[in-house]
């Protein structure tokens, strides 16, 4: 069984569309109340408040604020849990101190179990039944469907969505017996070991010209300030920019699914590079901040991290192998795929030309070939493969083999 998330577009009636923002605002107010409760309790009394303390206060809270009685206890508990997760991330130094949410930045609410809602569908269209709202028509199609677990109601770009998680048995047809190496970059989005190159789509760069034109007009409009609402035309300009950015995100997602499906349908072994994307896209603190921001924008426009995740789970479902090659050890951009000779190259050198054997090809294609050669060696020596650099996702026979490898040292120590 695997957990998958499916998103459906909701089409509420006029009466329900007027009530849903009210429910979203109630959850937002509860979130802010929990943040204030924790902040005041620690500053004035030096006492830390846990999730269970706030959860136990919900019955008394609903007796005083009677409008929360119709929301259901499970949805309110999840809103309290959001606050607890925000503070845990803060204490782990992964995010800033939790702030109060405005209605504009609070997207929706979640039902953490099957209580309070029901999805009347087999994975294709249907309707969603929510307590105190009734039936809401929804459209969408799931590749795999199973037992529903959670449901999140989201408001985005003036539209309502239902994000449902299901436990299902994923099915994907078996792939061909091919093998391929992939190199991700900025000059070319993807270069594979077969010599094929996918150019950088540059969705952000194309859309940036439209955004700049709108930004010129929005500067002459009244922005929001303390105690003063933004002008109607300023809100309209911002909404137009948000629509353009949403379109860019959909274009990128469509391309990523299309490319990943083509790669998985033809190959049962996919080798990619192990990248530290967080470090690669970190802001520069030196002189070249403008150049580094442009490089970060190009890297994020490709969406390398999401593309690798799509390829990984699709190959897994098809019974293939997904291997990440450690580039710090293998050095694919400096190694010749024909003879293995290593020589440093500058970023301006786009063609690989080996000084030892004379082999010549595109720089990114050569790196993809090196990664494929290294991955094939790892596949042959699968009994000694490092789990940190590869993800073995074949049959249960291979899973049992890995379990035996882990148990062998323990048995030898016990004897």
CA separation (Å) from 248 to 208, 211, 302?
10, 12, 11
Beta strands 127-130 and 134-139: pairing type? Answer: antiparallel
Mapping DSSP to helix (H, G, I), strand (E, B) and coil, where does residue 356 land? coil
pLDDT at 48: 92
Percent of the chain with pLDDT over 90: 38
φ and ψ of 29, to 5 deg = -65, -35
The pLDDT tens digits for 288-343 are: 777 878 878 888 888 888 899 999 989 988 888 898 888 888 888 888 888 888 88
CB 324 within 8 A of CB 389: yes
Contact 160, 113 (CB under 8 A): no
List pLDDT tens digits, range 88-132: 999 999 889 999 999 888 999 999 999 999 999 998 999 999 988
Tell me the pLDDT tens digit for each residue of 7-27: 999 999 999 999 999 999 999
The 8-class DSSP code of residue 319 comes to T
- Judge whether residue 75 has pLDDT over 90: yes
pLDDT of residue 383: 39
3-state secondary structure of 198: strand
d(CA 318, CA 264): 8
């Amino acid at each position: 069984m695997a957990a998958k998330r499916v998103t459906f577009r909701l089409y509420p009636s006029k009466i329900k569309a007027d009530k849903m923002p009210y429910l979203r605002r109630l959850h937002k107010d509860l979130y802010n109340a929990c943040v204030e409760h924790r902040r005041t309790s620690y500053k004035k009394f030096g006492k830390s408040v846990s999730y269970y303390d706030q959860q136990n206060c919900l019955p008394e809270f609903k007796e005083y604020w009677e409008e929360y009685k119709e929301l259901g206890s499970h949805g309110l508990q999840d809103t309290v849990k959001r606050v607890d997760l925000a503070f845990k991330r803060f204490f782990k130094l992964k995010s800033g101190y939790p702030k109060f949410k405005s209605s504009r930045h609070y997207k929706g609410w979640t039902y953490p179990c099957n209580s309070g809602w029901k999805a009347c569908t087999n994975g294709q269209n249907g309707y969603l039944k929510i307590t105190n709202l009734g039936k809401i028509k929804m459209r969408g199609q799931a590749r795999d469907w199973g037992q529903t677990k959670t449901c999140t109601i989201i408001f985005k770009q003036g539209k309502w969505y239902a994000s449902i998680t299901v436990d299902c048995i994923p099915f994907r047809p078996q792939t061909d017996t091919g093998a391929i190496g992939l190199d991700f970059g900025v000059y070319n989005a993807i270069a594979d070991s077969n010599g094929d190159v996918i150019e950088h789509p540059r969705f952000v760069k194309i859309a940036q010209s439209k955004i700049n034109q709108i930004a010129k007009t929005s500067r002459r409009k009244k922005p929001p300030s303390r105690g003063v609402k933004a002008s109607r035309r300023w809100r309209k300009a911002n909404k137009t920019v948000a629509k353009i950015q949403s379109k860019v995100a959909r274009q990128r997602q469509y391309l990523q699914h299309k490319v990943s499906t083509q790669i998985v349908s033809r190959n049962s072994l996919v080798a990619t590079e192990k990248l530290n994307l967080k470090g690669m896209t970190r802001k520069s603190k030196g002189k070249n901040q403008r150049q580094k921001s442009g490089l970060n924008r190009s890297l994020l426009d490709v969406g390398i991290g999401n593309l690798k995740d799509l390829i990984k789970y699709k190959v897994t479902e098809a019974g293939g192998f997904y291997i990440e090659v450690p580039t710090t050890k293998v050095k694919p951009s400096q190694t010749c795929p024909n003879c293995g000779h290593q020589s440093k190259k500058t970023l301006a050198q786009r063609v690989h030309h080996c000084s030892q054997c004379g082999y010549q090809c595109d720089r990114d294609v050569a790196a993809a070939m090196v990664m494929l050669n290294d991955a094939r060696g790892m596949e042959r020596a699968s009994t000694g493969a490092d789990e940190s650099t590869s993800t073995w996702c074949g049959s249960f026979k291979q899973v049992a083999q890995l379990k035996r490898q882990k148990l062998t040292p323990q048995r030898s120590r016990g004897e």
